[in-house]
Amino acid sequence: MLVLAALVVLAWTVAVSPSWARGGPAAGRHVYSARTLMTMPGRVIVKFHAGSTAASRRAVAADADARVLHAVPARWLTGGASLAVVTSASESTGALMKRLLRDPAVAYVEPDAVVQLAVIPDDPLWDDLWGMQAISAPRAWDSGVGSPDVVVADLDTGVDYAHEDLAANMWHNPGEIPANGIDDDDNGYVDDVYGINATTGSGDPMDEEGHGTHTSGTMAGVGDNGIGVVGVAWNTRIMALKFASQDAEGFVSDAVKCIDYLLQQKASGAADVRVVNASWNLEDYSIALHEAIVALGDAGVVFCAAAGNFSLDNDATPTIPANYDCVNIIAVAATDQNDELAFFSDFGRRTVDLAAPGVDILSTLPGNQYASWMGTSMATPHVAGAVALLAAQNRSGDTPARIKGRLMGTVVDLGLPLASGGRMDVAEAVLAPTDMRGPRCGVKDATATSGKRGRVLLRDYDVLSPKVTTTLHIADRSGSVRQRLRWENHGSVDEWWRTDFACRLARGAYEMWVTSTDFSGNQTTSAKATLRVN
């Protein structure tokens, strides 16, 4: 029986109402402390339409009895529009939003939500990296341990870039001369050698809290150095993006600043960032954050998001950003040493993609320390590291959707309530065939009786994503589709299978064909067959 008296689970949560507390797991399993989280009263993110000036933005804020606290650097995100944080000492958040929305220069307004960590101290329970064994990392390393040309970005509390097990894998900004007090590359940050600290607007992302250092060690801790732990992609570079401070709180606007910085570095060629680790959650939708993640996808960056630590079904109770409908997001649940869903982990058959080890995960902490923590926060960097390994293979056409599909299509199927049903196996993903042509599919000639049940013989299979969506189209001679039938999660084996359907067609001859779509979005259309309705 697992003893829970001394346990760490980092559950990132956000509130967007004056008082909110989210329920936890069953009594006796206290994973996180009970805390009331709040937005900052009278503080909002405002998106101004393209063409606004600093003066006009100040005027709009003044008309709402508010002021522009600071601009949010977002030139790589908004296509000419401007983001700013606006505050008011006299107006509530709701009243300020209403007043600002009356101005035609404003595209949208939303609360600048507070991100907060709820932490209970823990002592290590196991002094080994059982998670690396569970995901078959050693077998994956036979094919490669990552590439120094690939960068993983940790969007978190920063990283202890001097840590003995991380320092050699830190990304270095090639446009910046360390410690000269000058913004050498003219990007708005002085001495941003390893990344940025958006909470202070500085170039020093040192981690005083520990969460970001812990996730970084799992992603890309240095391997084969005789020290400490090893990360999944242990020859990969880490960019530190600090948006939460040492009291484990941060603003959405600061997360957006960090993403804009990442995209700026990627566009300039200074950092080939291929994946972002986001081991945190919000409760409610943020337009600004959604737009930023879409921009990451457009730039070819995968966004790994923690599913949450509340034992909830995310299909019914969305967790942000894991629940955003973005092709580049991989939503990650946590499993334990028994390959079961961790007792605290959120899940969702439609909205949570796969699982990774998240219980008693040993990793790095600031000051050359190590400890075992647990949470979907700890599961997510396993997946981010796996994305880095896949990116290092440099396969032709490897979009975020294809990488996601390869990971989901090669899971160990445990029957978990997740979209893939299973826990990640990085070796199977790395060793998966390079054929990216999409699923094979087919349909054979058949007969049916009008108004009764008919039977058709179908085939669908994908070597990278064994679970596919199959759609049977039945059209008349003019090509107009008269009936469409859809099945989920067939094709685990390459064979023909029979299915019954209610025939709603008049007598006559019809054309049939099948389209099959895998987790990566690859779609194949079969040859046409004939359906004769009696």
Token pair 């160990």 is found at 412
Residue 157 in tokens: 């509390």
Residue 181 in tokens: 């007090």
Q: Rounded CA gap, 449 and 462, in Å?
A: 32
Question: Mapped to the 3 state alphabet, what secondary structure does 258-316 carry?
Answer: HHHHHHHHHHHCCCCEEEEEECCCECCCCHHHHHHHHHHHHCCCEEEEECCCCCCECCC
Asked if 211 is an active-site residue, the reply is yes
Which residue spans within 344-443 are E strands per DSSP?
A: 354-357, 361-365, 369-373, 412-413, 422-423, 440-443
Helix-helix angle 54-63:93-101, to 10 degrees: 120
- Choosing from 122, 160, 191, 211, the catalytic residue is 211
Closest CA to 534 of 444, 443, 454: 454
Question: Mapped to the 3 state alphabet, what secondary structure does 285-297 carry?
Answer: CCHHHHHHHHHHH
- Choosing from 82, 377, 465, 520, the catalytic residue is 377
Q: Rounded CA gap, 356 and 306, in Å?
A: 10
Q: Rounded CA gap, 268 and 387, in Å?
A: 22
The DSSP symbol for 244 reads B
- Choosing from 112, 122, 156, 165, the catalytic residue is 156
Asked if 382 is an active-site residue, the reply is no
Asked if 156 is an active-site residue, the reply is yes
Q: Rounded CA gap, 511 and 211, in Å?
A: 57
Instruction: Provide the CB-side half-sphere exposure for 42 (13 A, CA).
Output: 13
User: What does residue 245 show for φ and ψ, rounded to 5 degrees?
Assistant: -90, -175
Q: Rounded CA gap, 93 and 205, in Å?
A: 30
Q: Are 474 and 483 in contact (CB under 8 A)?
A: yes
Q: Are 513 and 443 in contact (CB under 8 A)?
A: yes
Closest CA to 357 of 340, 139, 385, 314: 340
CA distances, 321 to each of 84, 136, 288, 329, 488 (Å): 21, 28, 11, 8, 25
Q: Residues 6 or more apart from 95 whose CB is under 8 A from it?
A: none
Q: Are 171 and 151 in contact (CB under 8 A)?
A: yes
Residues assigned a catalytic role? 156, 211, 377
